[in-house]
Chain A
Amino acid sequence: MKLQTKVLLLLFPLAITAGALILILSKGAINDVLLRETAERGFLALTEISPKVDAGMRTGEEKTLLPLLNSAHVQLRALYVAALAPDGTVLAHTNVVEKGRIYTDPDTRQILTYEKPGYKVIDSKGRKVLDIAAPVWAKDEDFLLSHEKGGKTFLGVLRIGLSLENVLATRAMILRRIALILIATGGAILLVILLFLHKILFPIRLLSDSTRKIGEGRYDVSVPVTTSDEIGELAGAFNKMADTLEKTTVSRNKLSEEVVERKKAEENLLQLLSLHHATLESTADGILVIDTGGKIVTKNRKFLQMWRIPDDMAASEDDGKLLAYVLEQLTNPGDFTAKVTWLYTHPEEESFDAFTFKDGRIFERFSLPQRIGTRIVGRVWNFRDVTERRKLEGMLLQSEKLSAIGQLAAGVAHEINNPLGIILGFAQSTVKHLKPGDEALALPLKTIEREAVRCKNLVQNLLVFSRISKNERFQEINLNDAMESALSLISAQAKTRNVELVKELGAGSSHIHADKTQVQQILINLANNAIDAMPKGGTLLFKTSLSAKRPGYVEILVRDTGDGIPKAMQKKVFEPFFTTKEVGQGTGLGLSLVYEIVEKHGGSIELESEEGKGTEFSVHLPIHPAAPPAKC
């Protein structure tokens, strides 16, 4: 709120209050003056007629009194003029009807006690009336002089009623004029005060305007110094300040440009930080940044996930504890720390190595120094989980090996098959032609025939192994039916070997796209191995189900309660010709054949075995035809 307004708000109520007080006081004073003046006129008239009413008052003659009363009535334009006897009896009255009445009202009783003229304002027929009365004494006594009634003859009272309408109108008129004068005077005073304030405030307004301009960055301002008082001094000081500011302060535009550039740089930085953060978090590798003092600068979530670092540990920022936790997981922590230590002493070097976790995971580690310009400020470590890749690489190697062996076996079998057929043919023919008594020839010949048959079976197996891809017959089959059919072939053998067959055939896993014969071959080979692994009998479980691990696949689980496979051998069981059976008991082609069939179907086979407890083969086969492999 402006100062001028404040002064107005302060002075206006004060002026109103003062005016109202003056009017109230004036009203009382004017009332008194006007009533007294009116009463004086009444007293004067009564003084004039009172000497003449002596006789009339004594005798009570109306004809004597009435003309006198009428003259006063006309002279004063009175409402009434009356002469009252001491007992209140109306001796004469300008309203002739009143004659003879006796007034006993309080006002009349009061005026009959008057020792000297007096007046009073009364209400008469709804009007304000000035009731003036003067006592009348016997003529030989002085009128209007105050005397005790004792010793004087009291003749009565002369009474005049004067209308106060004119008095009230006059009073109202005077009050109106006073009010007008007050308003005019008050207005004039307020105007003078406002003009005075305006004069005083004008240089302050100039100062205010100039201050605002400086606030807007315009320093080339000055205010005129028109007075030598405090305001003039303030104006001078302001000019000096503005001059100093102009010389020492950067211009607003320049500042604005700098602010804009700074904001732009901040935005760019934010953009870079955002990009950095997004990149850091979107990479599939774990990233760790260490400063030159070995303290962790930053790390991404992937890093924490890969190293399985608990949230509370990550939040604690306790680098020592974190390092211990990391080393604890490794099979060879010494190599890990040795590499780190070496890199501290060779900060310029890049590094690449791999290390193995106790749980079998394999991480590759790559690092390079972090530079600002040419200065090395830290090192960025990149960790990549290559466990699956390594596993796939192994599987690929195995597959290639099998393929080579298959081709070799096929060539060998083809070359051997013909001479073997001739040997077996002659052997069988000879055996057929043996006669009683040829017992000396019978044993060698039958042995040749038996071993030739065994070799032929081996060759047949090799030929089957090599021709899998040539005889494929993929179609929609019922897996459970294939399972039942295969198990019926081995049920007699199982029973003989005291092995209990248990089937858990899942309803939702019945139909797959596969070669039924090959699938049955998988099951029979796995069953034969399992039965061989339980020489003292046991339980053999066959279970089919939709794979929980691999959606779109069925899982065939074959679990035995045999001796189990030593861990060192587990990697070799799928290799051709690898067998733990005694010579002549196995060809070493069963599991490699299974592996080959599963591969051809686009599936996978995994082995879990624990010595003394048993072995479990888990075969995953796709429900629908697998997409043809991309050609490189």
Chain B
Amino acid sequence: MTVLFILLASAPRLASGAEPAEPAIAAVLSSEAGPYREALAGLQEELGFSVPVFSLSRGEPKIPDSARIVVAFGSKAALLRRQDRLTLVYAMSPGVVIKDKNTFEVHMEPEASVLLSSLKKIQPGLKKLGILWQSPKFEAYLLQLRSAAAELDMSIEDSRLEKTAEVPGRLRILYGKIDAIWLPPDPLLLNADNLTIFTEFSRSNNIPFFVPSGGLLEQGLASVTPTFREIGRLAAIAARSALTGQNQKKIIYPTRVELGINKAAAAKIGLKISEETLRQADKIIP
């Protein structure tokens, strides 16, 4: 329905001739899942025209010859073999690392200073933020986090895991040393068992737990994440820059974030969130 709306919304632009006669950008979705569709809507909205869209759930995509940029949403789409002539802009693929000069990646993690300042709004007393991570790709982001934390008079207490089973033990190590814990969108770490462990750790020990997605807000205290539409919009900007040959960063971090707050969880762990922050929140679980 959303897709249909966006396609209809873009129709005037097509009629006006804004869309190139031969499409230069194509989009590939790992599946028909809602988040990909939302990101696609953001992409097309930002581009101002429709692009050929291929879903891997419908089979092998046939990228048009005219296409010079492929925007992939999801890991499967990002890892799809492609012609060398094509520039790849991929997003929503947290575990994927593609080392190629013609690739640009839009991360799910918010820009570090944005993330930390948002967390500070929710928990003004936050000084030590605990982070468990496993994916090697996260290392670069961690550096940014540490730098941003220093500017905000904070510190990052991180612990890299070799195996998922290490989560309980590492949490025990962090216990007593941190004011809150943030779970990054690390696909190696993010599963139901771990989520339960984090949630119980937070609830039982009154330690705020920041989840990596608004969809997981019920399990934690708050989420500071970009919307999928924002991811799509950033992907569109990257694709347009690539198409015009402008210089740009290989890794793009979202700066527009959506704030979600679980008031019930805050009440359970005894954290009072200011009214101003609550007014700024995009999503609230009462």
List residues of A whose CB falls within 8 A of some B CB.
62-63, 66-67, 70, 73-74, 80, 94-99
27 contacts between A and B (CB under 8 A): A62-B168, A63-B165, A63-B168, A66-B168, A66-B193, A66-B197, A70-B196, A70-B200, A74-B196, A80-B200, A80-B204, A94-B197, A94-B200, A95-B200, A95-B204, A96-B167, A96-B169, A96-B171, A96-B172, A96-B200, A97-B171, A97-B172, A97-B175, A97-B204, A97-B205, A99-B168, A99-B172
Chain A interface mostly helix, strand, loop or mixed?
helix
Q: CA–CA, A433 to B200, complex, Å?
A: 190
| CB proximity to A under 8 Å, residues B197-214 | 197, 200-201, 204-205
Chain B residues within an 8 Å CB radius of A99: 168, 172
Q: How far is the CB of A56 from chain B (nearest CB, A)?
A: 13
Q: Are B165 and A95 in contact (CB under 8 A)?
A: no
Nearest A residue (CB) for B194: A70
Q: CA–CA, A166 to B169, complex, Å?
A: 33
Nearest B residue (CB) for A94: B200
Q: Which 7 A-B pairs have the closest CB atoms?
A: A95-B204, A96-B168, A63-B165, A70-B196, A94-B200, A97-B175, A96-B171
Supplied contacts A94-B200, A96-B171, A97-B204, 18 more A-B pairs, CB within 8 Å: A63-B168, A66-B193, A66-B197, A70-B193, A70-B196, A70-B200, A73-B196, A80-B204, A94-B196, A94-B197, A94-B204, A95-B200, A96-B168, A96-B200, A97-B175, A97-B201, A97-B205, A98-B204
Nearest B residue (CB) for A96: B168
Q: Given A63-B165, A66-B168, A95–B193 Cβ distance below 8 Å?
A: no
Nearest B residue (CB) for A95: B204
Q: How far is the CB of B203 from chain A (nearest CB, A)?
A: 8
List residues of B whose CB falls within 8 A of some A CB.
165, 167-169, 171-172, 175, 193, 196-197, 200-201, 204-205
Chain B residues within an 8 Å CB radius of A80: 200, 204
Q: Are B205 and A95 in contact (CB under 8 A)?
A: yes
Q: CA–CA, A94 to B194, complex, Å?
A: 11
Q: How many A-B residue pairs have CB under 8 A?
A: 42
Chain B residues within an 8 Å CB radius of A97: 171-172, 175, 201, 204-205
Q: How far is the CB of B219 from chain A (nearest CB, A)?
A: 11
Q: CA–CA, A96 to B170, complex, Å?
A: 10
Chain B residues within an 8 Å CB radius of A73: 196, 200
Q: How far is the CB of B107 from chain A (nearest CB, A)?
A: 29
Q: CA–CA, A62 to B193, complex, Å?
A: 13
Q: How far is the CB of A61 from chain B (nearest CB, A)?
A: 10
Q: How far is the CB of A618 from chain B (nearest CB, A)?
A: 126
Chain B residues within an 8 Å CB radius of A96: 167-169, 171-172, 197, 200-201
Q: Are A70 and B204 in contact (CB under 8 A)?
A: no
Nearest A residue (CB) for B175: A97
Chain A residues within an 8 Å CB radius of B205: 95, 97
Q: CA–CA, A529 to B157, complex, Å?
A: 163
Chain B residues within an 8 Å CB radius of A67: 193
Q: CA–CA, A97 to B196, complex, Å?
A: 14
Q: How far is the CB of A617 from chain B (nearest CB, A)?
A: 132
Q: CA–CA, A62 to B171, complex, Å?
A: 13
Chain A residues within an 8 Å CB radius of B169: 62, 96
Q: Which of B175, B200, B204 has the most CB of A within 10 A?
A: B200
Q: How far is the CB of B172 from chain A (nearest CB, A)?
A: 6
Q: CA–CA, A95 to B204, complex, Å?
A: 6
Q: CA–CA, A240 to B24, complex, Å?
A: 117
Q: CA–CA, A320 to B168, complex, Å?
A: 137
Q: CA–CA, A62 to B170, complex, Å?
A: 13
Chain A residues within an 8 Å CB radius of B167: 96
Q: Which of A80, A96, A98 has the most CB of B within 10 A?
A: A96
Q: CA–CA, A543 to B78, complex, Å?
A: 168
Q: CA–CA, A80 to B196, complex, Å?
A: 11
Q: CA–CA, A95 to B200, complex, Å?
A: 5
Q: Which of A66, A70, A73, A97 has the most CB of B within 10 A?
A: A97
Q: CA–CA, A443 to B251, complex, Å?
A: 207
Chain A residues within an 8 Å CB radius of B197: 66, 70, 94, 96
Q: How far is the CB of A481 from chain B (nearest CB, A)?
A: 128
Chain A residues within an 8 Å CB radius of B204: 80, 94-95, 97-98
Chain A residues within an 8 Å CB radius of B175: 97
Q: Are A95 and B201 in contact (CB under 8 A)?
A: yes
Chain B residues within an 8 Å CB radius of A63: 165, 168
Chain B residues within an 8 Å CB radius of A95: 200-201, 204-205
Chain A residues within an 8 Å CB radius of B171: 96-97
Q: CA–CA, A63 to B197, complex, Å?
A: 12
Nearest A residue (CB) for B166: A63
Q: CA–CA, A66 to B165, complex, Å?
A: 10
Q: CA–CA, A74 to B197, complex, Å?
A: 11
Q: CA–CA, A42 to B193, complex, Å?
A: 20
Q: CA–CA, A66 to B191, complex, Å?
A: 14
Q: How far is the CB of A554 from chain B (nearest CB, A)?
A: 120
